[in-house]
Structure 1
Amino acid sequence: MTILDDIIKAKQIEVDVIKAQRAADNRKRTVPLVSFLDAVNTQPMHVIAEFKRHSPSKGMINKDVEPAEQARIYQASGASMISVLTDYPYFKGTMADLVAVKEAVSLPVLNKDFIIDPVQIDRAYQHGADVILLIVGALTKEQFTNLYHYATAKGLEVLVEVHDETEVKTALAVDAPLIGINNRNLKTFETSLKQTEALAPLINTEKHVLVSESGIKTKADVVQVKAAGARAVLVGETLMKTSPEAMIKAFTEDLS
């Protein structure tokens, strides 16, 4: 059993709980959808800044930061989207974090979770998410395709996460405009930017927006993945551990 297997097993239990409580949760979406894709051509590199308290591989990252406060700092520093981890057992995140972030900023908000069922997409939409994450490696091809179309039918954008050539083909089969290459192996949790360099040539980066996820720590890292074709980087742990203002500026300006 890998860490991903354990997470998906726990997620199935969570899905059952959400379904059992669905009748009592009549929350309506009260905020407009905000597009990340509409703004993607406004600058050469975008930072998707993540609110992430904890990780299975690193333990507690920053337990004291408030989501709304961190999101406002991210927005003021030049981030283009805020990612909010809402898995609790492994990342100590909640849907309340997502709501707090959405209320604090005008940027698009990504609900980053391990989505395996449409009820999670409904929940993300109700709580104000603009974008959801679908991890191809956590789903069958049929599951992924159905969930992708379910989300886009609601007006949500989808960051499709891939880890190998087969998963890239699955993402391209639905013509996903937003594709994330995760530099972290979800089975071993080891990280390498070579993952972006290896898979990027399989993707037409003029047509599809390529996001390099995980392992981005320095401006040199951003330059490296940009050279491979990435137009955005998703950064969590690094921004949660340091003052993000200067780092986001460095990641988006004067890249060569």
Structure 2
Amino acid sequence: MDESDGLAPAVQSILDAAREREPAGGRVSVSPRLLPDALAAAEADGRAPTIAEVKPTSPTTEGEREDDPVALAEQMVAGGAAALSVLTEPEHFGGSPANLREIRDAVDVPVLRKDFLLREAQLDAVEADVVLLIARFLGDDLEPMLDAARERGFQALVEVHDRTELDRAVEAGADVIGVNNRDLAKLEVDLSTFEDVAPHVPEDVTLIAESGVSTPADVRRMRAAGADGLLVGSAIMDGDVTENTRTLVNA
């Protein structure tokens, strides 16, 4: 398959940059903090299990947040985030492996590395608890990348957008799956995407709703549709990070 077929220009630019990026350093080995356990603990504590995203900027937002990433991460945890997502893509999201490393050292919750990983060597840029693997971008390489991630100790969040990608993720052995409500062809967000895909996800899979969760009502909607966790970026980063996180986790 051609993983770039029909992508929005902004997404195609991200993918092109990812193909050119070379990792530094040798192979990593990780003893991860377990994401499913952290989400379950948040739920047991009466909080909506939320993965809060440290995202300085993105092609779908205006401006750039220049706060200290570690301070932002600590504020999210103080607000009740069960886990964190940290952008390490530099050109379009203002992220870096160094940011993730410093954040992971500063917090005690699982940290997801949010990036666009296309080949095995790119897994070795930095230690994280979870790495993002995007089914559309990886195509037939999804299963080998999933295996390579697990060999290093990583958990993997496999992102899908439709039933075809879900079937590929399940066949590859994914046990943590995220349904992205954002269409990478048009960059439009539709929460019904999650509602359409979620009923077909195996019960033993940890299921994450990604993109478009902005309000307590959105949180309740995704949870009612079967989300074990919610990945939230812009709605938390826009304003008081602690209060925004607290508002969503208490939905």
Using the size of structure 1 for normalisation, the TM-score is: 0.88
Residue 83 (structure 1) aligned to one of 82, 85, 89: 85
Cα-to-partner distance string for 1:91-140 (whole Å, 9 max, x where unaligned): 111111111211211111111000001111112xxx33110000001112
Partner of 2:230: 233
Tell me if 1:139 matches 2:138.
yes
Partner of 1:60: 63
The 5 A counterparts of 1:198-217 are 198-204=196-202, 206-217=203-214
For 1:57 and 1:249, locate their aligned partners in 2 and report how far apart those are by CA, in whole Å: 24
For 1:115 and 1:170, locate their aligned partners in 2 and report how far apart those are by CA, in whole Å: 17
Alignment-mate amino acid for residue 10 of structure 1: A
Residue 93 (structure 1) aligned to one of 74, 89, 95: 95
Partner of 1:186: 184
- Gaps (5+ residues) in structure 1? none
Moved more, 34-43 or 143-152: 34-43
For 2:207 and 2:31, locate their aligned partners in 1 and report how far apart those are by CA, in whole Å: 25
Q: CA deviation at 1:238?
A: 1.1
Partner of 1:163: 161
Partner of 2:4: none
Alignment-mate amino acid for residue 82 of structure 1: L
- Gaps (5+ residues) in structure 2? 1-6
* Aligned 8 A contact 2:28 2:124 in 1: no
Alignment-mate amino acid for residue 154 of structure 2: L
Partner of 1:13: 20
For 1:191 and 1:71, locate their aligned partners in 2 and report how far apart those are by CA, in whole Å: 25
Cα-to-partner distance string for 1:214-249 (whole Å, 9 max, x where unaligned): 111100000001111001111111111122333333
Tell me if 1:42 matches 2:41.
yes
Alignment-mate amino acid for residue 11 of structure 2: L
Cα-to-partner distance string for 1:21-70 (whole Å, 9 max, x where unaligned): x4xx35966x84211123332243311000001111223242x2111101
Q: Secondary structure at the match of 1:167?
A: helix
Q: Secondary structure at the match of 2:131?
A: strand
Q: Secondary structure at the match of 2:93?
A: coil
Moved more, 51-60 or 64-73: 51-60
For 1:77 and 1:57, locate their aligned partners in 2 and report how far apart those are by CA, in whole Å: 25
Q: Secondary structure at the match of 2:18?
A: helix
Cα-to-partner distance string for 1:154-174 (whole Å, 9 max, x where unaligned): 111000100111000011112
Number of residues of Structure 1 aligned to a counterpart in Structure 2: 240
* Aligned 8 A contact 1:61 1:241 in 2: no
Tell me if 1:220 matches 2:217.
yes
Partner of 2:3: none
Using the size of structure 2 for normalisation, the TM-score is: 0.89
